Amino acid sequence: MSILVNKETKLLVQGITGREGSFHAARCKDYGTNLVAGVTPGKGGELFQESVPVFNTVEEAVKETGANTSLIFVPPSFAADAIVESVDANISVIACITEGVPVLDTVNVYKYIKEKNSVLIGPNCPGVISPGENCKVGIMPANIHIPGKIGVVSRSGTLTYEAVGQLTDLGIGQSSCVGIGGDPIIGSSFVDILKMFDEDKNTDGVVLIGEIGGTKEQEAAEFIRSGFSKPVAGLIVGQSAPPGKRMGHAGAIITGSSAKASEKIKSLASAGVEIISSTSNIGITVKNMLNL
């Protein structure tokens, strides 16, 4: 019924005693996520909400609680070290919410994690939610999600929420929703997430939301063309963006013809993706695509 996170998830939050970490850790816990630990160096021995133990290191938290998933809220200069700490503690799924992580730091983390068994979502992402499993590992508003069989994968957090809101309004539930992040270098690509959705027997179709910059959407199109077994509806935003100007995300900048929205749309359409004409048509396009 989901990918990445589910009822078996045992969540720890790095930076749980900070303002953002404490706020969103509480929201995850309220949604039903099994929050087993927090990690803040120097705060070991404290309790979060009078019940969740706080540890000085991820290694200690994993040893004591069996945590297998990490949600990271630490300043940009410490984010890479926080990710590596979770990887070294054998955390399976890591979602790094932090925005503004130096690109070189992310490059080094990307190279390091590829040799390991951990899955990194982000950085600069909203995280992951699986509505049917009552498991939220991120910052998305939980109340707009309902259980179902449509997977959502997006470079934009806000547009993920817009897509989910439209699907829910039409009674179309979601299996899992993944915000992969808007930085130039990220831990998991469209292709990585599409592979998971393809293998998930309870996902019947996918909404893919891309934007200008890079070639991630073209890579997704090639993967879909090569044998992805489920229908995909795709939206590309930034069609009016001028070349060379960053539009929102650090990775949303046209640096060549392949980074243009028009080229991405062309690639996805040629792979059989149902193109969503505008942000207001996400839900109705999916409904028509699946003959609901």
User: What DSSP element (H or E) covers 152?
Assistant: strand 147-154
Distance of alpha carbon 49 from alpha carbon 27, whole angstroms:
12
Peptide bond into 53 cis (omega under 30): no
Strands 47-48 and 52-55 turn out to be: antiparallel
197 phi and psi angles, rounded to 5 deg: -65, -35
Distance of alpha carbon 263 from alpha carbon 265, whole angstroms:
5
- Buried/exposed code over 86-121 (b: 16+ C-beta within 10 A; e: otherwise): bbebebbbbbbbbbebeeebbeebeebbeeeebbbb
User: What DSSP element (H or E) covers 178?
Assistant: strand 174-179
Please report, for residues 4, 58, 100, 137, the alpha-carbon distance to residue 188 in angstroms, rounded to integers and kept in the order given. Answer: 12, 22, 17, 15
Distance of alpha carbon 49 from alpha carbon 29, whole angstroms:
10
Distance of alpha carbon 271 from alpha carbon 221, whole angstroms:
6
Report the catalytic residues.
Answer: 249
Dihedral over Cα of 202, 167, 73, 121: its sign: positive
Distance of alpha carbon 26 from alpha carbon 129, whole angstroms:
15
Residue 236 structure tokens: 């590309």
Strands 127-130 and 135-138 turn out to be: antiparallel
Distance of alpha carbon 160 from alpha carbon 48, whole angstroms:
29
